[in-house]
Amino acid sequence: MEIIRFTTVNALREAIFRMPLEQYVLIKLDDREVEFDLAFNSRLIETATDIDSTLTYCWFRERQEDGSLLDHPVNDYQPGSVRDDFDFGPLVLLNTADVLSATEDMDESYSGLLDGGWYALRLRMTMSKMIAMVPEYLYTVKRVDYRLSGEKQHDYVDPRNREYQIQMEKTLTEHLDMIGGLVSPEVEKVDYDGEEFPVEASVIIPVRNRVRTVADAVNSALDQDTLFPFNVIVVDNDSTDGTREVLEAIQDPRLVVIKVAADENLGIGGCWNRAVLSEHCGRFAVQLDSDDLYNSRSVLQAVVNKFRSGNFGMVVGSYSMIDFNGNPLPPGIIDHREWTDENGANNALRVNGFGAPRAFFTPIVRRFLFPNVSYGEDYAMCLRVSRDYAVGRIFRPLYLCRRWEGNSDAALSIEKTNANNAYKDCLRSFELLARIHSNMQSHQGPTPFLPSDIFDSLSNMPPFDPSDFFPEEDTEFDPDDDE
């Protein structure tokens, strides 16, 4: 079977027309040389034929510089796998008729996109169509990216990629409009003063085994200069390294330490729930990780001012990347300028994080609560809040994110990275379907396009092992969840 190196949508159509008519076409998405296993063609083509899949892909291996092989499994495609960086691997088998159908009304502008229109093509092809992932290693390519997971996770917010991000946002927005999944900028009203709270704001710090950093974080919070009363709620999740003793030694009446026992089985989300449901929690709950710092004494005041300036269910700031000693790290400032008031809630389905520090109007968090996991818990909450409420953004840095070897996402295996991505795709699936369902209920005209197979596919999602999201030693999270 001839391989077509994907460059643009138009070039793909022209290559298909030049080839002998085939039911499937094999597409190469990058320039790495491929070593095929003997069973590659038969397994992919037989699978695609048997189930009539529109897109078929498989696991692969990467050959390292020393000649050794590294297994590279990939995730199943879910209804919410709409992020533009979904990893299919470098090879995909596409149904030829579906390619031509999906591209029939695409104009020249799609081929002019920085990705040649691949994102738009695969979004169109996967609407209400079968996607097959064969969990077998069927080919080998050369490994070219040796960066650790912690070094790659902020690629999508690198300012050098801004034009690409704008193009991909437009592509997703058009897709969401087509399937009836767009969120309206009309939002629910928030009554900040409808009930009494013990303080105006609470800084929430979940922690487990951060004896080296927790005192810095707590003191950074206690040192805030505000015009209102606030407190700091630290939820110690059964630390065993001296963290609890460090907290007990801090003598400040504004510090509230909630001690969690091991048999409570809490992840970071569960720790957040303990804090926001506490009688000590203030009107606004503001995030701080136990190995990070606020960058000035005015952060808490700035966050509350932002809430009070508008009608926001949550407020998200910006942060600077530094090493453990405070030296700047690339890409520097993470401000998530892909967020806009008009379209941020829709674009949030494409990217892996919202930014930091994150702050919530406490009654809203108490209404929804966080999932009790240690990865993606804040992304789930942010998605849910943004469905119905406006999100206030502060684009100047408020927060110092320290990257060091103790970060829970500093050097993840491909299996752990896949597990994290699969969970976020699951969250996106639930949120996307909820938005489509809500739009259908309120829709007064013709029923918007809705891929019926999407709902069926939810029941076929791969099971999740909760242990994938509960680090045994660290239940620490980083600002974008950490992405």
> Which residues neighbour 411 within 8 Å (Cβ) at sequence distance 6 or greater?
148, 149, 150, 405
Q: Which of 251-255, 336-340, 438-442 has the lowest mean pLDDT?
A: 336-340
* Position with higher pLDDT, 423 vs 151: 423
Average pLDDT for 364-388 = 97
For the record, the structure tokens of 460 come out as 């076929």
164: left (phi over 0), alpha (psi -120 to 50) or beta: alpha
Contact in structure between 44 and 58 (CB atoms under 8 Å): yes
pLDDT for res 96? 97
Q: What's the pLDDT at 224?
A: 98
On the question of a cis peptide bond just before residue 357, with omega within 30 degrees of 0, the verdict is yes
> Residue 60 — pLDDT band, cuts 50, 70, 90?
very high
The pLDDT score that the predictor gives to residue 458 is 44
Q: What is the mean pLDDT of the chain?
A: 89
CA distance linking residue 352 with residue 170, whole number of Å: 17
Distance CA 380, CA 376 (A): 6
Instruction: State the average pLDDT over residues 84-102.
Output: 97
Determine contact, residues 60/91, Cβ cutoff 8 Å: yes
Confidence of residue 7 (pLDDT cuts 50, 70, 90): very high
For the segment 50-56, the average pLDDT, to the nearest whole number, is 97
Angle between helices 9-18 and 96-103 (to 10 degrees): 130
For residue 2, pLDDT beyond 90: no
Distance CA 98, CA 458 (A): 23
CB 62 within 8 Å of CB 141: yes
pLDDT at 155: 57
List, in sequence order, every beta strand (DSSP E) within 324-372.
328-334, 358-361
Q: C-alpha 408: how far from its chain's center?
A: 16
User: Which comes out higher in pLDDT, residue 355 or 481?
Assistant: 355
pTM of the model: 0.88
Distance CA 290, CA 404 (A): 13
Query: In the chain, what percentage of residues exceed pLDDT 90?
Result: 78
pLDDT surpassing 50 at residue 264: yes
65-85: average pLDDT: 95
Give tens-digit pLDDT for 212-263. Answer: 999 999 999 999 999 999 999 999 999 999 999 999 999 999 999 999 999 9
What is residue 153's predicted lDDT score, i.e. its pLDDT? 52
